[in-house]
Chain A
Amino acid sequence: MLVDITRVAGPRGVSASGGALRVGALTRHAELARDPLVAAHAPMLAEAAPLIARPAIRNRGTLGGSLATADPAAELPACAVALGATLVLPSARGERRVPAEGFFTGAMSTVLAPGEVVAAVEFPVARDGETQRIAEITRRSGDYAMAGLCLRHGPGMRDTRLVFFGVGDAPRPSRAAMAALEGRPLTPESVSSTGASRIAAA
């Protein structure tokens, strides 16, 4: 059975409070691209949205839909892992809060249980001096990534997060490369010194 939740008002809208940016699961990719709160507090999402498919799809596709689908080559699941997001999963039994890193269990599969829906996603707001970027290689404009990378480099060059997508069964942090960049400025030298082999092994 397929239930259309398009007209349910709850999982809509973007708000920021208490150090978290809460984005309703029905927020469309096109809305992520133009929302001022998203641009201010989770710029990686604003940069990622235009990379997703094409305008007609960005006007229909939603954040919650992308995360629940869990395509390993999709942008938003990788952003959620890179930014340390928390998924809010209500059901008739109550509400679970699941970190993005534990949500994706493999290609097109998640810990979402029968009866649960993704209602909202909470992203820690970007701190002053934090760098957030996403880059990907595609065959054509708007295609799924052949390989992609989400980067978060916190203030003081701390809390480095590197998450690759399109190169495995799910977006995964590259712990060795993260450790190699921790406390170092992002320069071509520091990035190349992390070593491609180390990234591949992580």
Chain B
Amino acid sequence: MINPLLVDEQVRGGIVQGIGGALYGHCLYDGRGNLLTTTMADHLVPMSAEMPDMHVGHVETPTRESLLGAKGAGEAGTAGAPAAIMNAINDALRPLGARVTAQPFTPARILAALGKV
């Protein structure tokens, strides 16, 4: 790694972005296609209190596509975080016979999966 500190923070930022997509970010439209969730009070993103402690480790595999063997690491945590959250939620829901598959996994969607609303 050329800049390990920067790569760690890219991973952390990516994980939080993924958490946001899994739990909060929701684009809602009215019947005429107007976006309804246009402010940061409507379209939620995780804040510092929603961030878990993250321990970042690396497996380095130099690429042959560049002279240094380096490749981009931007937002590398984004894809894994929603999968981990969805699997954790579904693990918790399994004894209740429920499952969610569409993010964001909002309280309303989980209650709907449970048949409560």
Q: How far is the CB of A146 from chain B (nearest CB, A)?
A: 7
Contacts of B50 in A (CB 8 A): 140-141
Check if B47 sits within 8 Å of A142, measured CB to CB. yes
A 87-106 contacts with B by CB, 8 A: none
Residues A141 and B107 in contact, CB atoms below 8 Å apart: no
Residue of A nearest to B49 (CB): A141
Question: Are the C-beta atoms of B47 and A146 separated by less than 8 Å?
Answer: no
Q: Give the docked Cα–Cα distance between A164 and B107 (Å).
A: 19
Q: Quick check: is A139 within 8 A (CB to CB) of the other chain?
A: yes
Total interface residues on A, using CB and 8 Å? 8
Q: Is the CB of B49 within 8 A of A140?
A: yes
Min Cβ gap B97→A in Å is 21
B44–A139 touching, CB < 8 Å? yes
Contact B47 A141 (CB under 8 A): yes
Cβ of B13 under 8 Å from chain A: no
Q: A140-B50, A141-B49 are in contact. Are A146 and B107 (CB under 8 A)?
A: yes
- For residue A141, which residues in chain B have a CB less than 8 angstroms away from its CB? 47, 49-50
> A116 to B26, alpha carbons, bound, how many Å?
41
The residue of chain B having its C-beta at the shortest distance from the C-beta of A54 within the complex is B47
**Closest A-B pairs by Cβ, 6 of them:** A141-B49, A140-B50, A140-B47, A139-B44, A140-B44, A141-B50
**Besides the contacts A140-B49, A141-B49, what 5 more A-B pairs have beta carbons closer than 8 Å?**
A54-B47, A139-B24, A139-B106, A139-B107, A140-B50
The residues of B with any CB-CB pair to A shorter than 8 Å are 24, 44, 46-47, 49-50, 106-107
Q: What are 16 A-B contacts defined by CB distance under 8 Å?
A: A54-B47, A137-B107, A139-B24, A139-B44, A139-B106, A140-B24, A140-B44, A140-B46, A140-B47, A140-B49, A141-B47, A141-B49, A141-B50, A142-B47, A142-B49, A143-B44
